[in-house]
Amino acid sequence: MASRSSWLILARSQSWCILYARLTGFRGGFMNVRVVLLSVGVVGLLGSIAAAADDRWPQFRGPGNLGVSEESGLPESWSTTENVAWVADIPGLGWSSPIVWEDRLFLTSVVSTGVAEAPVLGLYIGGERPTPTEEHRWMVYGIDVATGTLLWETEVHRGVPETSHHLKNTFASETPVTDGEQVYAYFGNVGVFSLSLDGDLLWSRRIEVSDMPGGWGTAASPVLSGDRLYIVNDNDSQSYMLALSKETGNEIWRVDRDEGANWSTPYVWENDLRTELVTTGTDKVRSYDLDGNLLWELTGMSTVTAPTPFSQFGLLYISSGYIGDSKRPAFAIRPGARGDITPAADGRLDASIAWFQPQAGSYNTSPIIYGNYYYTLLDRGYFTCHDARTGEEVYGKQRIHVGAAFSSSPWAYSGKIFVLSEEGDTYVIKAGPEFEVLDTNSLDEYSMATPAIAHGSLFIRTVSKLYRISD
């Protein structure tokens, strides 16, 4: 396997730097674990530059937040026994996604000394819970990709929680991020922690406790760009965005936001004109420069915002779709916007808005672009398709499966789109202008985490387990 150091040597050539960054996304206890080794493939030497990027899934939804892999030979069918390379039991609760860097996988969880109430799937009222009274342990795990063996476990915090979370949420719902040098784990209302790839705690920073509506808890993940780690903390006390030194954890700047609670991960948009920090929100979508200065803003989102922005075809895609709202918009934004770009009352769009659909947003899941199409997975089990460049509808709501509910974001490869239901069933959908469900793969356990893709494999987290799925 190509080492990280050999890649850095290669990247010193100016002509390789951009390609390196785009391919890799580079921007610069696990108590009594039972690992069941069912079959382990041998990972050979990488034969091309493209293959070198296939062993890295460094953040939520992978490189570019796109959720798409161009690897060949990825699995298309599986069960609890079919095409399972290994499965590991994961203590505690967490809906953070696994991330992968070369031969290591990283994951977070929070383990209670008491008996944790099991999550309940679906959309419902009454999921609020009181603040726990039992001691909890905030954990980061390092796992061997080839075998599923625990390499290390690091407890970054121990204590009685100061806040609660919704029954469907956890205290470990933020996905960590890595640059191949350090792993950065963020736990809302607790802190930010930097660890070496061997699990040594390098620095930590306390995050003040803030109120969330209904005690629902937090979920927005951190992002890396250059030498900085960015965190958005939208809450009901005082929302803000924070830029930290990734080397020391020292604050570089902090910008207060006139914004209520949200759960959307920010996005670093590197477009042809500039680099922007894009944040979605209930009150406004806001884009900042790298020093925290406001570039543009847009109103008109739903009252709860969770989907993560991303870019493709030179456009920025933002959306929200709280089920209790009539507004569920999706926008495609051109680079170079300035000031307030909110659509006019008569429907006229600012020149920086490439297209707008008033009812194409989802509640929890992030949309995906695959090929020329923009797909939206709705929480109640519907699927829609639009032209990614123009926003024109290709097909409207199509039922995936009666009764299925979704919180995990979709992913795509091999001409197919995969959607993981809360019941643990992954529906395989044909990519393209005609809707068709091709297959269903079941793991028979509750799941809300978005999978990772690397090493010719799919890494799926369920409520108690982590699977490596390989053909």
**Mean of the per-residue pLDDT values of the chain:** 88
User: Read out DSSP for 386-436?
Assistant: EETTT--EEEEEEESSTT--B-SPPEEETTEEEEEBTTSEEEEEE-SSS--
Contact call for residues 295 and 280 (beta carbons, < 8 A) = no
Spatial CA neighbour of 306 closest among 266, 268, 262: 262
Q: How far apart are alpha carbons 149 and 114 in whole angstroms?
A: 26
User: Quick one: pLDDT at residue 123?
Assistant: 67
Taking residues 362-370, report their average pLDDT.
Answer: 96
User: Quick one: pLDDT at residue 130?
Assistant: 85
Read off the pLDDT of residues 310-327 as tens digits, 9 standing for 90 and up.
Answer: 999 999 999 998 888 888
User: Quick one: pLDDT at residue 53?
Assistant: 62
Q: Among the listed ranges 32-41, 409-418, 421-430, 453-462, which one has the minimum average pLDDT value? A: 32-41
pLDDT at 10 over 80: no
User: Quick one: pLDDT at residue 323?
Assistant: 83
User: Quick one: pLDDT at residue 254?
Assistant: 97
User: Quick one: pLDDT at residue 168?
Assistant: 84
What is the percent of the chain with per-residue pLDDT over 90, rounded to a whole number? 76
Cross-strand pairs, 316: 311, 333
What is the percent of the chain with per-residue pLDDT over 70, rounded to a whole number? 88
Q: How far apart are alpha carbons 417 and 98 in whole angstroms?
A: 19
Taking residues 450-457, report their average pLDDT.
Answer: 98
Q: Distances in Å between the alpha carbon of 261 and those of 30, 90, 235?
A: 31, 29, 4
Q: Give the side-chain half-sphere CA count within 13 A for 31.
A: 13
Residues with Cβ < 8 Å from 170, sequence gap 6 or more? 93, 94, 95, 110, 217
The token pair at 121 is 């799937």
Stated as kind and residue range, the H or E segment containing 440 is strand 437-442
User: Read out DSSP for 13-27?
Assistant: SHHHHHHHHHHH---
pLDDT at 23 over 50: no
pLDDT at 29 over 90: no
User: Quick one: pLDDT at residue 120?
Assistant: 74
Read off the pLDDT of residues 264-296 as tens digits, 9 standing for 90 and up.
Answer: 999 999 999 999 999 999 889 999 999 999 999
Which one is predicted more confidently, 216 or 426? 426
User: Quick one: pLDDT at residue 308?
Assistant: 96
Which one is predicted more confidently, 16 or 186? 186
User: Quick one: pLDDT at residue 366?
Assistant: 97
Which one is predicted more confidently, 15 or 57? 57
Read off the pLDDT of residues 332-359 as tens digits, 9 standing for 90 and up.
Answer: 999 999 999 999 999 999 999 999 999 9
User: Quick one: pLDDT at residue 73?
Assistant: 95
The three-class DSSP label of residue 167 is: coil
Stated as kind and residue range, the H or E segment containing 208 is none
Torsion of CA 46, 48, 53, 54, to 10 degrees: -60
Which one is predicted more confidently, 22 or 355? 355
Stated as kind and residue range, the H or E segment containing 6 is helix 4-11
User: Quick one: pLDDT at residue 26?
Assistant: 41
pLDDT at 20 over 70: no
User: Quick one: pLDDT at residue 464?
Assistant: 96
Read off the pLDDT of residues 408-449 as tens digits, 9 standing for 90 and up.
Answer: 999 999 999 999 999 999 999 999 999 999 999 999 999 999
> The pTM is what?
0.88
Spatial CA neighbour of 161 closest among 214, 106, 97, 113: 113
Stated as kind and residue range, the H or E segment containing 101 is strand 99-101
Which one is predicted more confidently, 463 or 211? 463
Contact call for residues 281 and 318 (beta carbons, < 8 A) = no
Q: Among the listed ranges 3-17, 135-149, 424-438, which one has the minimum average pLDDT value? A: 3-17
Radius of gyration of the chain (CA): 21
User: Quick one: pLDDT at residue 117?
Assistant: 79
pLDDT at 45 over 60: no
pLDDT at 128 over 80: no
Spatial CA neighbour of 110 closest among 161, 150, 144: 161
